[in-house]
């Protein structure tokens, strides 16, 4: 959690915060998506997190990928903006957010895949057909649903 968000939480407790977030879905050369199992809800997710004050959204997405999964994004492309009721989430600790999440796709990256122990239990590549949406962290399900719809259209 960013210092900014932690400072806000000291003021408002668990009340809903509007949170701007940036994320990256890494896709390997076989078309598999890199997902991590979260330590808080034990569900699968892609990398992402809160944008810091004056941080560019793209820089936040790249930073989160490196921090959470150990990879450095070489090229990213805008995929989707997730917001509204489906992006509202209550974390296991009771913190509530209304996310505005900007999601990028990354097919060119380098580095060693290493989970950030505080946030990720494990990292794994999944083929689109292996992804069980019930095992995906709730606020990102709509994003992966959209990705899978587009993937299935392209594979027909």
Supply the Cα-derived Rg of the chain in whole angstroms: 15
The 10 Å CB-count burial string (b at 16+, else e) for 1-12 is eeeebeeeeeee
CA distance 20 to 52: 9
pTM of the predicted model, to two decimals?
Answer: 0.92
- Tell me the domains of the chain and their CATH numbers: 16-128 (3.90.79.10)
Per-residue pLDDT of the chain (156 residues; tens, 9 = 90+): 678 888 899 999 999 999 999 999 999 999 999 999 999 999 999 999 999 999 999 999 999 999 999 999 999 999 999 999 999 999 999 999 999 999 999 999 999 999 999 999 999 999 999 999 999 999 999 999 999 998 877 765
């Amino acid at each position: 959690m960013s210092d900014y968000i932690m400072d806000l939480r000291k003021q408002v407790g668990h009340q809903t915060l509007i949170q701007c977030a940036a994320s990256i879905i890494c896709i390997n050369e076989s078309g598999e998506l890199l997902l991590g199992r979260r330590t808080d809800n034990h569900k699968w997710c892609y990398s992402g997190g809160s944008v810091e004050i004056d941080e560019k959204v793209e820089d936040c997405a790249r930073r989160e990928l490196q921090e959470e999964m150990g990879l450095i994004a070489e090229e990213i492309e805008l995929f989707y903006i997730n917001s509204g009721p489906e992006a509202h989430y209550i974390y296991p600790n009771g913190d509530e957010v209304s996310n505005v999440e900007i999601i990028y796709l990354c097919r060119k990256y380098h580095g060693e895949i290493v989970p950030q122990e505080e946030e990720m239990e494990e990292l794994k590549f999944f083929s689109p057909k292996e992804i069980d949406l019930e095992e995906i962290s709730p606020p990102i399900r709509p994003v992966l649903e959209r990705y899978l719809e587009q993937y299935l259209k392209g594979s027909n």
